[in-house]
Each structure stands twice: as structure tokens, then as C-alpha cells.
Amino acid sequence: MKKFVKHRELLFSTLSEITSLIVAGNDKKLIFERLLDCSLIVLDAERVYLLELERDSVVKYSKSRQSGGEQLRVEVLRDSSVVRDWMLREGGAKERFQRGGELAFDLPILTNRYLQEADSSGVIISAPLVAKKSMFGLLVALHHDDGQLYTQEDIQLVTVLANHAAIAVENALLYQKLEREAVTDGLTSVFNYRFLISSLETEIKRARRFKQSFSFVMLDVDNLKTYNDRHGHLGGSQALKEIATIIKASCREIDLVSKYGGDEFGILLPQTGLTGAERVTRRVVEAVGRHRFDSESTGLLTCSAGISTFPRDGQTVRELISAADKALFQAKRSGKNSVLTTEDLIGEIA
């Protein structure tokens, strides 16, 4: 256990730092960089790699001892099918797979084709990064001194590092998932009411400071009750998901789409006056009207919308929502599938 003793301080400080990075909400790139920095030293490697499964590709992170304090290199492997299939196959063999432990791979194939190592005559050591018994990454260390073989101690070290990094990344992804869920509507995957209110408050402060305007849209689904009676509540829920997707696709990148209530959506349009907001909203309403829900004819479900603008229609979140809601109410009364602004409500808004 000489290496454990020799590098104990570095090893424990690295594990502690990785944990701290997770608590601080940092991304996995920083975690991988600290892992590779430590691996270079404690494994006495010339170059270390982390191969990460990212959907249908493999992302390669690398660091070299020769180049001293070089920055972490990150690249997506173009021809990665062999490595990806091998990692998926090894990770899928649950009956013979446990968290940690060394995995063997054809050294010339791995080093020449995927790691761009000109000399594949050295020694290699690797350990999988596993989350819930599914491999998502592989830590690889290379040394070109034929006289130096990796020992059981080295295998234990690389396993400890890989295990801790895997747990850290797993926790980071869970943390990010919980953060997303805290601001996201569970059914439609757009932002929820709480995040909308918070965003409106922030936008009011920003618009007031820079003397700019913005608009808010209250949008309601027409005839949803009739649709539910015909297709059931599951069908209605699916329709709401599709409408949320249509709204997002019809809005701009800077616009914020949220679920307001049962069949209502709120849209925040930053730096947008009444005319621009009406143009965006009509595009949304027309797109919903053209959509075929459950392969039915178009027009079965439509939307009505009301628009208010800061600072003309209100100085607070409550005033802006109330103004948009009044315009929406009048749009519903006037025959649905329509868009009204506060300018259309002559004398109704004080």
C-alpha cells in the first residue's frame, strides 16, 4: 500500500474537492479534470483519459504529464462505434458486472485508433465509471515504460478514483434533475407558475432600470372540457403537452413559456412592445388552430389569449396579470380562438 501512503494527501484532497464541486453545483467537466489531475500523479501515468458515453457518441477528456499544466482537452470521437458498443456491452452484463474493478481492452485498438497514442507497447490500466449498474464512462491511464507494470495497488487506486467520480457525477445529475423539477411543470415540461412569477418580478426590475418595455400573455385552451369528455382526461393531458410544445416552437428563444393554471399558459416576452407581442401571440394561436390533435380534424382545440404590456398596463406582477386576464376573458367572450390586447378593452382597464 505504498502508493496509498505516498499520495494519501493528494488522493483525499481530490476526493474532498470533487465532493465540494458537487455541493457547489458545478458541472461534470470540472469533476473529470480534477480526477485526471490526480490520476496522472498517483498512477505515475504519462497520459490519462476519461471516455464518457454521451448519447450515441463518446466524449474523450485527456491530460498529459509531459505538457505540464495543460488545460483539459475535450473532444467528441468521430469513429467511436467500437468503443461505444464495447462499453455498452460491458456495462450491460449485469450478472458479471460490479461497481469498480479493472476492465481489459485490446490495447493497440484503443491506443492507436481512439487515444491517438503512437506507441501502444506500454501498459494500460482502466476502471469503469458506473451509475446504477450502468457504465457511462471509462478511466484509462497509460505508461510507456515496459519495465513498469501496474500492480494490484494501482488497480485499487484507479478503482477508488473511478468509483468516487462516478458517484459524484451521479449525484450532480440528480442535483440538476431536482433543480429542473423545482421550476418545471411535471405534465408539460414548460416552466411552472412559481418560476413565472419570479421571472416577472425580475423582468420588472430590469425593465424599470433600463427604461424598457416587455409584454405578458395569458393564454387559455378553448373547448378542453369537450375534448376531455370525448377523449378522456388522459387524452386531454396529452393535448396539453402538445400545445406546450407548439407554444415553445412558435415563440423566440428569449421568451419564457410557463404553465399558469389547469388549462392556462403564461408567456413572458422580454423587450417586446404591444405590437410585437401581438404578432408572436397570433403566431402561437394560429399554430395551435392548425394542429391535428389525436388525428382529428383541425380546429378541435384552439386557444384564446390576452396581452398586457409593462409599464403601460401595470407596475406590478399582479397588475400585469390582471390586465392580461381581462383581455383574455373578453377574447373568450367574443368567440374564442382570438387574441386581444389591453388596447382592445376600451374603458375596461382603469
Q: How far apart are CA 171 and CA 186, in angstroms?
A: 21
Q: Residues 162, 139: contact at Cβ < 8 Å?
A: yes
What is the number of residues in the chain?
Answer: 350
Catalytic: which of 263, 313, 325, 344?
Answer: 263
Q: Residues 279, 294: contact at Cβ < 8 Å?
A: no
Q: Which of 126, 142, 170, 137 is nearest to 40 (CA)?
A: 142
Residue 119 known to be catalytic: no
Q: Residue 74 carries which side chain, given as an amino acid letter? A: V
Q: Where are the alpha helices (DSSP H) in the chain?
A: 2-6, 8-23, 28-42, 81-92, 107-108, 152-183, 193-210, 224-250, 274-290, 317-333
Buried/exposed 36-56: b ≥16 CB within 10 Å, e otherwise:
bbbbbbbbbbbbbbbbbbeee
Q: Which of 317, 316, 314 is nearest to 349 (CA)?
A: 314
The residues carrying an active-site annotation are 263
